[in-house]
Amino acid sequence: MEYKIKITPLAIEMLSKIKDKRQQKGLSNRIEKLKHEPDKQGKALSGKLKGYRSIRVLGQRYRIVYRVDREEIVVIIIGAGIRKQGEKKDIYETLNKLLSD
């Protein structure tokens, strides 16, 4: 079964801030792979991001955060960015703040 991919406006904004074309292509290719068995990819997140999953991309530097809707057969990409643990611009910190507002 192939899932549809839906990218939220927030994720589009985050992806548009990545200027390197090779990195954009790498992220795009990885998102496409989520069409097949997205539940078996990445890891389940916890805390405020419980219910979402995260996959590593481009040498584990970037993360794509998504949710799988089995009823609609769709993967919803909610964000993408660099993992900078302990910094305000960390992808998880950014999403935690935006999702709790």
Tens-place pLDDT, residues 67-98: 999 999 999 999 999 888 777 778 888 888 88
DSSP reduced 3-state for 17: coil
Residue that wins the pLDDT comparison between 88 and 26: 26
Closest CA to 70 of 90, 82, 53: 53
Average pLDDT over residues 40-58: 92
Domain map (residue ranges) of the chain: 4-100
How high is the pLDDT of residue 101?
60
Provide the percentage of residues in the chain whose pLDDT is more than 90: 64
Full strand arrangement of the beta sheet holding 53-57: 4-7, 74-82, 62-69, 53-57, 43-44
DSSP reduced 3-state for 14: helix
How high is the pLDDT of residue 97?
83
Mean pLDDT of the chain: 90
User: Domain 4-100, what fold?
Assistant: YaeB-like fold (3.30.2310)
Its pTM stands at 0.89
d(C-alpha 73, C-alpha 96), whole Å: 25
